């Protein structure tokens, strides 16, 4: 297994870091405070090709490698978590099309997703169906060549700005409910945005309820076949969890960078062995997380049989250490760590959600154990 980054990937990673430091770092605290989708960040990403990392080459993508996306999103989240979701949600929202879509669907949506002209989102979670997808209550009923969708989804990232939504609903066939995926365009009659969540972290990323009231879509909007929806969701999340590992690693790196800079400016702190030990533990955790994330991405790109286990492992490990590292950064800064004059309090607030979204860490443990047991 050769995990060395190519020269092109290294140059790209450095370019992303430069753009984030120059254009987003001065705005990161404001993005958090405003609690609005950062349109300027979206335009920056579109102009500089960030969205090309989520799409295959033949539809305008960069190199089609998940590892390249992980490199990118790690650098983005090192500076601003809300900005990382602008890119991350573009990947998750388009994953069903990339992995399962037919040629007509891919040609219609993926070039616009690559250019940033279109934003995509992923609507799976419901009030009574989080980790348990089987409890889903949203329904799609056949009516001639159409399907009529009714139900509601919650905690849907960027639903209020998305141009296309991948919606999961149950279709009843011969008395059995089968989870099925549909693509619903912005402005389709009957689809509306409900409550917008007030969140502890990721405040610059909008998270909304989506309501479906007699939403009529043509059968051609179905991704895969009736009943493929559960597998489509799992495939999208298996890919997304590796990306989340990169996001969490980037946030942990940002917290470590801030802590090191703070300690360096205070020689009294830098001489304390307990402070040195804390920094050493933080650095070790971040490097281990990065190595696991790159390994998982490489395995995914190379279609290794154990890539699903590594997907769960990078998500589990990175999202655990990011809480530890951000909490340690706050502790090292003392009173300043709780002040909005320093970014580490924002980093710590942002860190918590990683253990919950894209499948809770409890679910990741189940995935890992079942794969080990051959179950």
**In the structure encoding, which two tokens stand for residue 331, read together?**
């502790």
**In the structure encoding, which two tokens stand for residue 299, read together?**
């395995």
Helix or strand run (H / E) with residue 298: helix 273-301
Distance of CA 86 to the CA centre of its chain: 9
- 3-class DSSP state for residue 168? strand
Kindly report the number of other CB atoms within 10 A of residue 230's CB atom.
16
Q: Report d(CA 38, CA 25) in Å as an integer.
A: 13
Q: Report d(CA 262, CA 270) in Å as an integer.
A: 9
Alpha helices by DSSP H, 136-272: 229-264, 267-270
Task: For residue 184, list its beta bridge partners.
Answer: 165
The closest alpha carbon to 213, from 196, 236, 197, 193, belongs to: 193
CA distances from 102 to 65, 108, 221, 264, 303 (A): 20, 10, 10, 54, 21
Catalytic residue, from 74, 75, 209, 358: name it: 358
7 flagged as catalytic: no
Residues carrying an active site annotation: 358
């Amino acid at each position: 297994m050769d995990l060395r980054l190519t020269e092109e990937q290294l140059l790209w990673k450095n370019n992303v870091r430069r753009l984030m430091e120059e254009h987003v770092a001065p705005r990161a605290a404001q993005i958090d405070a405003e609690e609005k989708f950062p349109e300027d960040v979206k335009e920056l990403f579109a102009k500089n090709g960030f969205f090309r990392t989520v799409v295959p080459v033949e539809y305008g993508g960069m190199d089609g490698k998940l590892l390249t996306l992980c490199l990118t999103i790690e650098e983005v989240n090192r500076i601003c978590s809300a900005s990382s979701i602008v890119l991350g949600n573009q990947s998750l929202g388009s994953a069903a099309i990339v992995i399962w879509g037919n040629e007509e669907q891919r040609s219609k949506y993926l070039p616009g997703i690559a250019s940033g002209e279109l934003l995509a989102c992923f609507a799976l979670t419901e009030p009574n169906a989080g980790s348990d997808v089987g409890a889903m209550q949203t329904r799609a009923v056949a009516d001639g060549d159409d399907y009529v969708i009714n139900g509601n989804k919650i905690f849907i990232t960027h639903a209020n700005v998305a141009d296309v939504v991948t919606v999961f609903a149950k279709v009843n066939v011969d008395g059995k409910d089968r989870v099925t995926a549909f693509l619903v365009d912005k402005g389709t009659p009957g689809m509306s945005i409900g409550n917008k969540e007030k969140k502890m972290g990721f405040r610059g990323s909008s998270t909304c309820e989506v309501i479906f009231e007699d939403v009529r879509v043509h059968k051609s909007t179905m991704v895969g076949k009736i009943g493929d929806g559960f597998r489509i969701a799992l495939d999208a999340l298996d890919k997304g969890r590796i990306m989340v590992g990169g996001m969490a690693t980037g946030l942990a790196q940002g917290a470590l960078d801030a802590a090191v800079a703070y300690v360096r400016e205070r020689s009294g702190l830098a001489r304390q062995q307990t402070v040195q030990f804390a920094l050493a533990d933080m650095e070790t955790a971040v490097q281990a997380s990065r190595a696991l994330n790159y390994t998982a991405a490489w395995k995914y790109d190379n279609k290794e049989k154990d890539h699903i286990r590594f997907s769960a492992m990078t998500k589990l490990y990175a999202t655990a250490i990011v809480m530890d590292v951000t909490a340690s950064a706050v502790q090292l800064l003392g009173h300043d760590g709780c002040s909005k004059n320093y970014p580490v309090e924002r980093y710590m607030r942002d860190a918590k959600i990683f253990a919950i979204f894209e499948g809770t860490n409890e679910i990741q443990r189940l995935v890992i154990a079942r794969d080990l047991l051959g179950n």
